[in-house]
Amino acid sequence: MRPGDVLHLTRAASVQFIRPITVRVIRVLTDRHTYDGWLWIDAYELDAAGDAVRRRTLFLMPAGATRPEPGPRRPAPRRPIPGRAVVA
Per-residue pLDDT at 33: 81
Instruction: Give pTM, 2 decimals.
Output: 0.72
- Confidence check: pLDDT of 86 > 80: no
Per-residue pLDDT at 45: 94
- pLDDT tens, 24-74? 999 999 888 888 889 999 999 999 888 999 999 999 999 999 988 766 666
Q: CA–CA separation, 47 vs 69, rounded Å?
A: 15
Q: How many degrees, rounded to 5, is the angle at CA 47 between CA 27 and CA 72?
A: 105
Instruction: Please give the distance of CA 54 from its chain centroid, rounded to a whole number.
Output: 10
- Confidence check: pLDDT of 88 > 60: no
